[in-house]
Amino acid sequence: MGRRRELLGGRTEHALRQESTPVIHGIRHDGAATPSNDDVLEALESAYPDLVFVCWSAAALHGVEYAVGHRPEIWLPAQGRRHGVVMRCGHLPVEDVVTVSGHVATSIVRTAVDVARFAEGDEKIAGVDQFIRADRLGRSLTTKAAILAYLDTHPGLYGANRVRDVIAEASNRAQSPWETYSRLVVHRSGLDFFRPQQPVPGTPFHVDLGSGKYRIAIEYDGGYHRSTEQQRIDIARWNAITDQKWIIIRVTSPMLLSGRATFLDRVARELRTRGWSGPSPTNPPLKLPKIHRLNDVPESKSAGHSLQNVVQSD
């Protein structure tokens, strides 16, 4: 019969692939534009009409900052497999399913529970921090109490102890994932008296981590601070803070990933010059997920960055 050719709308399969872009494995759309998050959701809904978006996909739909960029995650009534898509199955109570912006997803509290159960390493803490983070009006998507109440009403839930461990280290004061990771390193080292979003008396400012007693601030310095305008704002802010006899120690993602001992030694030395006499901090583990996409490490405080694009550091 000769070579088989599959015609699709008058085009060969090869021509169609040249004129289209993959949305998810096995599904393409016309044109060369990079698929949007909505394109991915719609493609999955077309392939799996019974799906429910869960975990990071549900978090993004609920407006959780930094959730966009993870692999799509869906729940199905029966087990399935598709390259590039996380598929889950098992019992999903109907009361945990809601409609968000036209998409079927898990409720906010159930989504926070799932992030705490299934996210990798310490990213689960950074994720929950974004669910419970209070805005300027004191509002948050959910709370530690609501998450714990969910566990109490769902005895035997898989991974419940993991969720409780996450809640024990979570904070509603972290403005970004790297602020969470900074806090985890400092607190796990034994310096748990540093308070997230510590106000600086005599100024209108807060610092990422601070000790009011010793007047030491620890500030995460990421890409967000690189613009000319932000540097201007930062300089004015830092000058106001140091005018109150505070010292500012800046930390970056490479320092948290592979230079923790040096960073913590610097913090300890500054503490000792200001009268602290506690034991030297230990060098704690920080477990971050391996790179899943070839994007920049998410350092900025704007929404839409993936928490997933970081490397593991033990």
Q: Tens place of pLDDT for every residue, the chain, 314 residues?
A: 333 334 345 555 554 455 677 778 777 766 667 778 888 999 999 999 999 999 999 999 999 989 988 999 999 999 999 999 999 999 999 999 999 999 999 999 999 999 999 999 999 999 999 999 998 889 999 999 999 999 999 999 999 999 999 999 999 999 999 999 999 999 999 999 999 999 999 999 999 999 999 999 999 987 655 667 778 888 999 999 999 999 999 999 999 999 999 999 999 999 999 999 999 999 999 999 764 333 334 444 433 333 333 333 43
Rounded CA gap, 180 and 146, in Å?
21
pTM summary value = 0.85
Rounded CA gap, 74 and 60, in Å?
13
What number does CATH give the domain 173-314?
Answer: 3.40.960.10
Rounded CA gap, 44 and 192, in Å?
44
CA angle 37, 114, 58 (to 5 degrees): 25
Rounded CA gap, 50 and 47, in Å?
9
Pairing of strands 86-88, 73-75: parallel
Angle between helices 123-132 and 160-169 (to 10 degrees): 70
Rounded CA gap, 190 and 174, in Å?
19
Rounded CA gap, 80 and 47, in Å?
12
CATH 3.40.960.10 placement within the chain: 173-314
Quote the DSSP letter at residue 160: H
Our CA dihedral for 233, 238, 243, 246, rounded to 10 degrees, sits at: 160
What's the pLDDT tens digit per position in 132-175?
999 888 999 999 999 999 999 999 999 999 999 999 999 999 99
Residue 232: which H helix or E strand, with range? helix 228-242
Other CB atoms within a 10 A radius of the CB of residue 204 amount to 8
176: tokens are: 């970004």
260: tokens are: 């923790």
